[in-house]
Structure 1
Amino acid sequence: MKSEDLNPKAREAFARTLIDVGVSVFKGIILLLTVIPIAAIFKSAFDGVSIEVSLIRIMGSMTSGTYITLLVLLVAAFFIGHLFRKEGLRHLHEIENDV
């Protein structure tokens, strides 16, 4: 079933869902990039072991395959989030132009 075959209210709900999915992907990426470093810092602070935690050292200890995979997944998530949001906005604009 194509979205053009839906009634206007269903098309609007579909467009808003696409926008929500795109925004959720962006929020997930931002949470990932802020929570993981903070969790590593808190873990070292409350562990009781006096070791030095360096996020640069943690990133440097990853293998190149892991690093490339992480970057590819982050870039893919950005593109997917952008695509969903853009398509949702396109549907909303089409609905507004039809009215």
Structure 2
Amino acid sequence: MNPNDYNLLAREAYAKSLIDVGVSIFKGIMLLCTVVPLAAVMNNIFNDSEKKVSILEVLNSVTLSNQAIIVGLLITAFILAWYLRYEGLRHLYEIQSGS
């Protein structure tokens, strides 16, 4: 069933859910980029280990193919989040301009 065939309320709910999913993906990526490095640093601080952990050392220890996969997945997630948000806003705009 095509979203254009929905009634106005269903189409508006569909558009808002697309926007919510896109924003949730963006928030998830931002949390991943801030919380994971912070957790690694805090883990090192509270474990009282002699070895110091550097975020750059951790990133350099990952193989090049794994780095490419991670970057590719992050780019794909950004594109998907942008597309979902864009489509949701487009549906909302069409609803408002059609009324």
The answer to whether TM tops 0.5 is yes
SS at match of 2:33: helix
List gaps (5 residues or longer) in structure 2: none
Q: TM-score, normalised by structure 2?
A: 0.98
User: Structure 1 vs Structure 2: percent identity of aligned residues?
Assistant: 44
The whole-number CA distance in structure 1 between the counterparts of 2:71 and 2:17 is 27
1:9-88 equivalences under 5 Å are 9-88=9-88
Instruction: Kindly provide the CA deviation profile for residues 10-45 of structure 1, in whole angstroms up to 9, marking residues without a partner as x.
Output: 000000000000000000000000000000001101
Deviation at 1:51, TM superposition (A): 1.3
What CA distance in whole angstroms lies between the structure 2 residues aligned with 1:5 and 1:60?
51
Count of aligned positions: 99
| TM-score calculated relative to the size of structure 1 | 0.98
Distance 1:40 1:20 in 2: 30
Letter of the structure 2 residue corresponding to residue 2 of structure 1? N
Q: CA deviation at 1:53?
A: 1.0
CA–CA distance in structure 2, aligned partners of residues 43 and 50 of structure 1: 13
